[in-house]
Amino acid sequence: MAEKNAPYHAIIVGGGFYGCSLAVALARQGGKVLLCEQEESLLTRASFNNQARVHNGYHYPRSVLTALRSRVNFPRWVSAYRGCVVDDFEKYYAIARRFSKVSAQQFRSMMRRIDAPLEPAPKHVTKLFNSALIEQVFSVREFAFDAVKLRAMMEADLKEAGVEVMYRTRAVKLAQDGSSIRVSLLHDGHETATSATHVFNCTYSHINELLAASGLPLIRLKHELAEMALVEVPEMLRNLGITVMCGPFFSCMPFPARRLHTLSHVRYTPHGSWQETERASPELRDFLNHKRPASHYPYMLADSQRYLPALSECRLVDSLWEIKTVLPQTEECDSRPILFKSDSGLKNLHCVMGAKIDNIFDALAECAHL
Ligand SMILES: Cc1cc2nc3c(=O)[nH]c(=O)nc-3n(C[C@H](O)[C@H](O)[C@H](O)COP(=O)(O)OP(=O)(O)OC[C@H]3O[C@@H](n4cnc5c(N)ncnc54)[C@H](O)[C@@H]3O)c2cc1C
């Protein structure tokens, strides 16, 4: 087995938005950093296959802490990643009359509490909704991001910070090696190993896979196989992003990386969920083997168009599929804190999972304490 000689200050496993951002931050502090990513390029998984929403608090009316953190992080994210931010569309949140977990009044007072700008939507927009099902529509300030541009920005930042990046390289096992951690890697089918003082497991839905392969304790996570339809919306919706809150409803958001919109539905986007166990679940194995279930788009559309009739003119182009992973304890109030677990079975092994891209600043703050 080939051995790399120079140990690193940090090895980051996983080249999504979180792994790349941590690698850049650590390298800028002067450490020698290696980033390994199993795919051909960076940001191909959850950091690409998501709703592309830059959160500003509106999505979390039942969790004041999550709403407030997004509110604080929003201007920072927009400023730090300006080149990837898409703000040339109007954004509306609508509150359903029935089955909603918040009323329009509750939504309004929560947004006032976190100081999130909110106004009644103009008449020409309100008229798009079915007033029998929608209590009120609000005009808000929320943006989207272009994941292709974000990838290019991350590549440039990694290069400028001097991070060594290994593509097509899978971390297969971690083990204590004196005061360092030894990382076994599979690169283009060849096994190699190297070591570092700190290792960051930033593999999102694969966090437990690497822990299990290393014989380390698992972290309680909940996974969901998610489908977001990629649609061409009719002209009258092209410049809009719409979210109906708060319960089994839907979002229709611009997806700049493909110049389409995503249509996602709280009830139909999930194709099954499972808690972490010792063995990979059948859904995970099928997903990894590129097997996809039949699309739920017809159900998403049938329900969404009751609230927003213009959606009936959407044209399905494709679907984005991804495993969405959350901390199970956050399900009740729909909060989205980060996971930052240090000494996760090994000294200086840190498992990091951001629930949203704006949480990156919370992860970087934790990292600065190490
Ligand atoms: C359906 C869905 C919708 C979402 N919508 C939004 C939204 O609108 N706004 C928002 O802010 N957030 C959203 N999120 C959350 C957001 O996408 C994630 O918080 C974020 O992308 C996580 O980034 P990451 O770097 O941790 O994960 P990823 O981008 O998944 O990166 C993990 C990387 O690790 C690599 N990897 C895995 N195992 C190994 C290994 N053993 N060795 C080497 N590499 C490995 C993978 O190939 C991958 O590139 C959504 C998520 C999903 C799934």
**pLDDT tens sequence across 287-316:** 777 888 899 999 999 999 999 999 999 999
Asked if 18 contacts 352 with a C-beta cutoff of 8 angstroms, the reply is: yes
Q: What is the pLDDT of residues 127-139, one digit of tens each?
A: 999 999 999 999 9
- Asked if pLDDT for residue 335 goes beyond 80, the answer is no
Asked if 218 contacts 208 with a C-beta cutoff of 8 angstroms, the reply is: yes
DSSP string, 289-349: TT--PPP-HHHHHHHHHHHSGGGGG-EEEEEEEEEEEE-GGGTTTT--PPEEESSSSSTTE
Rounded CA separation 136/54 (Å): 23
Rounded CA separation 301/272 (Å): 19
Query: Domain boundaries in the chain?
Result: 1-52+146-219+335-370, 89-145+222-326
- The pLDDT of 334-363, averaged and rounded, is 92
Please tell me the predicted confidence (pLDDT) of residue 2.
38
Please tell me the predicted confidence (pLDDT) of residue 146.
98
Please tell me the predicted confidence (pLDDT) of residue 332.
67
Please tell me the predicted confidence (pLDDT) of residue 54.
98
Q: Name the residue with tokens 């299990």.
A: 212
Report which protein residue has its CA nearest ligand 1's atom 16.
356
Please tell me the predicted confidence (pLDDT) of residue 202.
98
Please tell me the predicted confidence (pLDDT) of residue 101.
94
Evaluated on CA atoms 3, 6, 9, 15, the torsion sign reads negative
Closest to 202 measured CA to CA, from 9, 13, 8: 13
Cβ of 13 below 6 Å from ligand 1: yes
Most ligand 1 atoms within 8 A of CB, residue of 47, 222, 284, 325 to mutate: 47
Tell which CATH classification among 3.55.10.10, 3.30.9.10, 2.40.50.140, 1.10.10.10 matches the domain 89-145+222-326.
3.30.9.10
Which amino acid, residue 361? Answer: F
Most ligand 1 atoms within 8 A of CB, residue of 145, 211, 356, 367 to mutate: 356
Cβ of 353 below 6 Å from ligand 1: yes
Please tell me the predicted confidence (pLDDT) of residue 7.
87
Q: How far is the CA of 121 from the centre of ligand 1 (A)?
A: 33
Q: How far is the CA of 135 from the centre of ligand 1 (A)?
A: 34
Q: How far is the CA of 51 from the centre of ligand 1 (A)?
A: 12
Which amino acid, residue 51? Answer: Q
- The pLDDT of 144-157, averaged and rounded, is 98
Cβ of 214 below 6 Å from ligand 1: no
Please tell me the predicted confidence (pLDDT) of residue 212.
92
Asked if 253 contacts 243 with a C-beta cutoff of 8 angstroms, the reply is: yes
- What are the tokens at 8? 């690193």
Q: Which numbered atom of ligand 1 lies nearest the CA of 170?
A: 42
* Helices and strands, number each (H, E), in the chain: 9, 21
Cβ of 204 below 6 Å from ligand 1: yes
Cβ of 61 below 6 Å from ligand 1: no
- Asked if pLDDT for residue 3 goes beyond 70, the answer is no
* CATH of the domain spanning 1-52+146-219+335-370: 3.50.50.60
Closest to 321 measured CA to CA, from 50, 37, 53: 50
Please tell me the predicted confidence (pLDDT) of residue 188.
87
Q: How far is C-alpha 174 from the geometric centre of its chain's CA atoms?
A: 25
Please tell me the predicted confidence (pLDDT) of residue 292.
87
Asked if 252 contacts 246 with a C-beta cutoff of 8 angstroms, the reply is: no
Cβ of 185 below 6 Å from ligand 1: no
Average pLDDT, the chain: 94
Q: What is the pLDDT of residues 181-199, one digit of tens each?
A: 999 999 988 999 999 999 9
Please tell me the predicted confidence (pLDDT) of residue 123.
97
Please tell me the predicted confidence (pLDDT) of residue 275.
83
Cβ of 18 below 6 Å from ligand 1: yes
Cβ of 37 below 6 Å from ligand 1: yes
177: enclosing H helix or E strand: strand 169-177
- The pLDDT of 214-221, averaged and rounded, is 94
- Asked if pLDDT for residue 5 goes beyond 50, the answer is no
Evaluated on CA atoms 57, 26, 197, 2, the torsion sign reads positive
| Confidence band of 359 (pLDDT split at 50, 70, 90) | very high
Per the model's pLDDT, the better-predicted residue between 139 and 274 turns out to be 139
Rounded CA separation 157/179 (Å): 30
Cβ of 57 below 6 Å from ligand 1: no
Q: How far is the CA of 46 from the centre of ligand 1 (A)?
A: 3
Please tell me the predicted confidence (pLDDT) of residue 139.
98
Asked if 118 contacts 269 with a C-beta cutoff of 8 angstroms, the reply is: no
Per the model's pLDDT, the better-predicted residue between 65 and 107 turns out to be 107
Please tell me the predicted confidence (pLDDT) of residue 118.
97
Report which protein residue has its CA nearest ligand 1's atom 38.
203
- Asked if pLDDT for residue 369 goes beyond 90, the answer is no
Q: Phi first, then psi: what are they for 166, rounded to 5°?
A: -115, 115
Closest to 52 measured CA to CA, from 259, 280, 225: 259
In eight-state DSSP terms, residue 366 is H
- The pLDDT of 249-255, averaged and rounded, is 98
Please tell me the predicted confidence (pLDDT) of residue 277.
62
148: enclosing H helix or E strand: helix 147-161
Cβ of 147 below 6 Å from ligand 1: no
Cβ of 253 below 6 Å from ligand 1: no
Cβ of 55 below 6 Å from ligand 1: yes
Q: Which numbered atom of ligand 1 lies nearest the CA of 44?
A: 49
